[in-house]
Amino acid sequence: MRQSVYRYIGIIPHVSKQMVCLIFADDAWWLPSWEDHEPRSWKAVRDVNAAMHDHFGIDVTTLRCFATTTDPANMLVTRTYEFENRSPAWTPPGRGRWVTRDALDALAMGDLAQRDLLIAWFSEQAQGIPGKRRLWARRGWFDATRNWIRDQVRMQGITLHAVEQVHTWERSCVLCAHTNDGNFYLKALPPWASSEVPLMRALASWYPRNFPAIIAVEPDRRWILTREFNGTPLDSAPQIAHWEDALRRYAEIQIGLALRQQDLRDLGVPQHPIEDIPTLCAALFGETDSVTPNVFADKGGLTASEMVSLRKAIPRITALATELASYTIPDSLDAGELWAANIIWTEAGVPLFRDWSDAALTHPFMSPAIFLAEGAGSLAETDAVDRLHAAYLTPWSLYKSTEDLQRAMAIASVLAPLHLAITYQRTIVPALEQRWELEQSIPNYLRMALEQLAALPDRS
């Protein structure tokens, strides 16, 4: 069977001058590139940085991915990155050379799209970095952050050996610090996720077995430094018992946090009442550019008929939100996107919950509804859905009957993707410089809501 080919293209800047590296081959000039067959996320840049060293002998960190495109006919995935040059004495290999903006016009480029990209890049260097650019996508950020990590571990008598970049995108940047006392991880967050810093610190103190151990935080720069946690992400653990135990523990934590609502507000956790969903949906469905982004018009944006279905569904969505509120299940902390990859089954045999950048104080059944949908497609057991539902809902039986809880979860399966689409539309996507990274989440979640709505028996 044919394998997909992954082509990586990179802008390598000079350390101190406004010049980039170009390679001469096949009678034309090209940005440095290489290919492999290993499928990996475009956000996972540890291997990308290592490949730059292997192919070109240069040490780099990744500033950002410009774009990732797919050519299905040729099974080709192309990814273009901008790097920070960390090898001051490095020179372009072979028939490569440093090129200025003025010299670019005289060169025969092998790909006109690369010329356009470089023209835009040089223009940005001359005019200044856009204000929306994430701090970790700017030169100098890595050095400043590495120095802060070194100081934090030194205060605990630990020696820092090296820091490497693990992944980067608009939502976060993660670095791994190697020390004489094991590994530590730093997560840097964007402004809209600033509440995750105090929240993670509080959760680690309230539930130390289920949240990463916090070594240090830098609230102003939105940095969280944690000790490495050993275990297996739940999406790589096919044992349904682990999924059940994780859901059960998640419910127990939510029940405890329902008594800490004021504490959560004081930490800056945003509040998203389910009663607001219908009004916010009506506003979202009227914003065509948000729901059917132009850049994705032919790649997953909602169709006209789907838009009509959503607008017609507003009265039913309103009724469902009212019904869910009538069950008087207390609001609690909700993780937002509770993906299995964000739950680690630790060596101690307990689940560890990470990534709370989307957390909100809202109806607790929001994120489990998303998690249950994922579990249904990931586990082999024919009764997986029923078992996962039972694992999560059983701790909530002190509030309602099994029948009421099951109905509440069924309603949440409709409202949860709507809640996430609203969050992306109001908070996340407007803050992005590169909207392509996350913009498609809005139509994806709305389509999920339509599917869940169609499957939910109408009691009206």
Select from 240, 436, 258 the least CA-distant residue to 331: 258
What integer pLDDT is reported at residue 227 of this predicted model? 94
> Does 296 share its domain with 356?
yes
CATH code for position 184: 3.30.200.20
Q: Could you tell me which residues come within 8 angstroms of residue 353 by beta carbon, excluding any fewer than 6 positions away?
A: 203, 210, 211, 250, 253, 335, 342, 343
Q: Per the structure, how many domains does the chain have?
A: 3
Domain presence at residue 437: yes
Per-residue confidence (pLDDT) for residue 295, from 0 to 100: 43
- Domain hosting 185: range is 136-227
Q: Tell whether 389 is covered by a domain.
A: yes
The residues pairing with 34 across neighbouring beta strands, listed in sequence order, are 8
pLDDT at 314: 96
Residue bearing tokens 């009538």: 326
Work out the angle at residue 87's Cα, subtended by the Cα atoms of residues 125 and 190, and round it to the nearest 5 degrees.
Answer: 55
Please report whether residue 344 resides in a domain: yes
Same domain, 330 and 189: no
State pLDDT tens for residues 317-375. 999 999 999 999 999 999 988 889 999 999 999 999 999 999 999 999 998 888 887 77
Copy the structure tokens of residue 169: 């995108």
Using CA atoms of 353, 355, 356, 362 in order, give the dihedral in degrees to the nearest 10.
Answer: -70
Same domain, yes or no, for 271 and 325? yes
Same domain, 25 and 117: yes
- Token pair recorded at residue 345: 């089954």
Pair 279, 370 in one domain: yes
Residue 116: give its domain's CATH number: 3.90.79.10
Do 365 and 451 have their domain in common? yes
Single out the residue of 295, 320, 329 nearest to residue 397, CA to CA.
Answer: 329
Q: Assess whether 236 and 301 both reside in one domain.
A: yes
65 and 177 within one domain: no
The verdict on 207 and 262 lying in the same domain is no
Q: Is residue 460 part of a domain?
A: no
How far, in Å, CA of 373 to CA of 416, rounded? 11
Q: Is residue 371 part of a domain?
A: yes
123, 212: one domain: no
Instruction: Tell me: do 89 and 156 sit in the same domain.
Output: no
What are the pLDDT tens digits along the chain (460 aa)? Answer: 678 999 999 999 999 999 999 999 999 999 999 999 999 999 999 999 999 999 999 999 999 999 899 999 999 999 999 999 999 999 999 999 999 999 999 999 999 999 999 999 999 999 999 999 999 999 999 999 999 999 999 999 999 999 999 999 999 999 999 999 999 999 999 999 999 999 999 999 999 999 999 999 999 999 999 999 889 999 888 789 999 999 999 999 999 999 999 999 999 999 999 999 999 999 999 876 667 654 444 556 888 899 999 999 999 999 999 999 999 999 999 998 888 999 999 999 999 999 999 999 999 999 888 888 777 677 778 888 899 999 999 999 999 999 999 999 999 999 999 999 999 999 999 999 999 999 899 999 999 999 999 999 877 6
Distances (CA, A) of 429 to 171, 257, 415: 10, 29, 20
Same domain flag for 222 and 241: no
Each residue of 42-51: pLDDT tens digit? Answer: 999 999 999 9
